[in-house]
Chains A and B, each alone.
Chain A
């Protein structure tokens, strides 16, 4: 079946620290991969995506590379800010149909 596993939180970092949130997936086929972010009191927003192997998605200083060989899509940022405090969700989807599979979310808190 299809599923997404991401590292459990919560994660607490100091400002300017390096961030990695691990995400691995299981899929029957070749999915697109996504990271969504949910800021407090808001809906999920697309952060970045990658549609095929070796693609790198990037946005707002965050990046993730679609690694088919390790079935991973780890989220990284070189220097986090307090404003990055949010819950991050890894997800996969296939272009046919509209079924998305989400991870359980990882809560990030960045302290000054």
Chain B
């Protein structure tokens, strides 16, 4: 299955700033997914990133707040803009594949704390 590297693994940020999370996959994939894992809550899909087109955002998430880039088939970035304490979460990059279709492989996540 694919190996996913995310960075930063964790960061502490100030309110009002923006942070970009990088996701690198060791193989070419069509779709990359960005999830948020808030404390004590389930994973929530933020958006799906396809190479060469605009990301598709889920209800409750907008491009101005979470801009995504997908410059090639192995890399994507998620920016969390104008952060507030409510954005403190683990952000996870994932791709489909490994152990069969319809299975997600995840990166280790980026734990953001906003003060």
Contact check: which of B31, B103, B109 meets A49 at CB < 8 Å?
Answer: B103
> How many residue pairs between the two chains, A and B, have CB atoms under 8 Å in the bound complex?
53
A43 engages B48 (CB within 8 Å) = no
Min Cβ gap A35→B in Å is 12
Q: Number of A residues whose C-beta is below 8 Å from B?
A: 22
B109 engages A43 (CB within 8 Å) = yes
Contact check: which of A32, A42, A103 meets B102 at CB < 8 Å?
Answer: A32
Q: B45: which A residues are within 8 A, CB to CB? A: 99-100
Q: Which of B13-21, B36-44, B67-75, B78-86 contacts A (4 or more CB under 8 A)?
A: B36-44
Q: Which residues of B contact A (CB under 8 A)?
A: 4, 6, 31, 33, 40-43, 45, 48, 92, 94, 96, 98-109
Q: Which residues of A contact B (CB under 8 A)?
A: 4, 32, 34, 36, 41-46, 49, 89, 93, 95, 98-105
